[in-house]
Amino acid sequence: MIKEILEIPRILREFIKSPFVFDATALRKIKLAKRILIVGCGTSYHAGLLGAIFFEELSGKPVRVVSASEASHQNLNYDLVVVVSQSGETKDVLEFLRKIKPKKIFTIGISNSKNSLLSRLADFNIYQNVGLEKSIPATKTFISQVAILLQLALMGNKKNASLHESFKKLPNLMEKILERQEKIRAVAEKYKSFDKFFILGAGFNFPVALEGALKFKEAAGILAEGMLAGELKHGPITLVDKSSASLLIMPKDLRYWENLSLLLEIKKNGGPVVAITTEGNKDLDKIIKDVIYIPKTEELLYPFLATLVLQFLAYSSGVLRGYNVDKPRNLSKAVRI
Ligand code: BG6
């Protein structure tokens, strides 16, 4: 898992140098699509949630994301379906593709396996090409899926020159985060015995909270709940006390002040808080002890940086708790049954 996390900046740099090339049919389908559906499971489902945000922000097109385990049972009416699965072998994903085949909806598959069953079923395939991912908790394949979905959403969207420029800088910013491993490991050490963990994100960082929580479950055996920051006060806050830890993903973006008020509320209830925020933000270390800084970037790109922190934090927590982070019990890389 750690080897694969450390590969991420290089993988992203290579993707930026040679992004995926689309054929004319796929390009036309993406540009003309009015109703888009993204389908995946687990980590790939979370990548899909980010993909939907990118599409909606950049092209204004509404996008729905459905877990593959549900998608086969719904009467779905879309003109473009994007299926995300790093293995390309997940049973629920394949079943869904077989089910919609007769509907003749254009399907795009995103997978890290060139000759997967998914690649035989989808109309057009995007091969992630990031090398085999051996660790069961997916890390590098998630970032690559999210980068590909961003590329899809940017297609035909020339207005975003500044986003393109910021995206190119991400690998360097990720390297900066990985230089701070000691700080992140120290946070993991301090919180390793907490079994109740809330991971909170608003807006673009909500899917990051879900994915971070999944990494905590898989790699560290911690029952972490990923949640919309705004939902904590509608019930779950009753569980906040000194025995529960909360991690707030709160870069200096449009949602920052809401997140800060939530942080104060959690503190008032005696809950320990870790915050991930933007470098240069001087507010937080006056209030709490555990602040992890990420470099400044565009709002839409913070999910890449916050995810990397959470992957490394979950990995470190798992190692410190004595877990086999690469092979968590009861899990396999692709669920074929
Ligand atoms: C699960 C794995 O079984 O399958 C998860 O344990 C993974 O880590 C999920 O995210 C989906 O896998 P895939 O290959 O379809 O992306």
Each residue of 275-319: pLDDT tens digit? 999 999 999 999 999 999 999 999 999 999 999 999 999 999 999
Cα 263 to middle of ligand 1, angstroms? 32
pLDDT for res 156:
59
pLDDT for res 251:
98
Please give the backbone phi and psi of residue 141, each rounded to the nearest 5 degrees, phi first.
-70, -30
Q: Which residues make Cβ contacts (< 8 Å) with residue 282, sequence separation at least 6? A: none
Nearest one of 208, 279, 214, 191 to 249, comparing CA atoms: 208
Cα 186 to middle of ligand 1, angstroms? 29
**pTM of the shown model:** 0.97
**pLDDT under 70: residue ranges of the chain:** 156-159
Instruction: Tell me, using a 6 A CB cutoff, whether residue 223 lines ligand 1.
Output: no
What would the pLDDT profile of 52-90 be if each residue is shown by its tens digit?
Answer: 999 999 988 999 999 999 999 988 889 999 999 999 999
Q: Is 333 helix (H, G, I), strand (E, B) or coil?
A: coil
| Residues 36 and 55 sit within 8 Å (Cβ to Cβ) | yes
Can you tell me the distance from the alpha carbon of 11 to that of 14, in angstroms, rounded to the nearest whole number? 5
Cα 335 to middle of ligand 1, angstroms? 7
Q: Which residue has the tokens 């990397």?
A: 308
Can you tell me the distance from the alpha carbon of 110 to that of 142, in angstroms, rounded to the nearest whole number? 11
pLDDT for res 22:
87
pLDDT for res 334:
79
Order of strands across the sheet that contains 223-228: 223-228, 196-201, 244-249, 273-278, 290-294
Can you tell me the distance from the alpha carbon of 306 to that of 277, in angstroms, rounded to the nearest whole number? 9
Q: Which residues make Cβ contacts (< 8 Å) with residue 40, sequence separation at least 6? A: 46, 47, 48, 65, 67, 68, 83, 84, 85, 93
Can you tell me the distance from the alpha carbon of 75 to that of 265, in angstroms, rounded to the nearest whole number? 42
pLDDT for res 77:
86
Nearest one of 123, 75, 79 to 97, comparing CA atoms: 123
Cα 235 to middle of ligand 1, angstroms? 30
**Distance from the Cα of residue 133 to its chain's centroid:** 16
Instruction: Tell me, using a 6 A CB cutoff, whether residue 138 lines ligand 1.
Output: yes
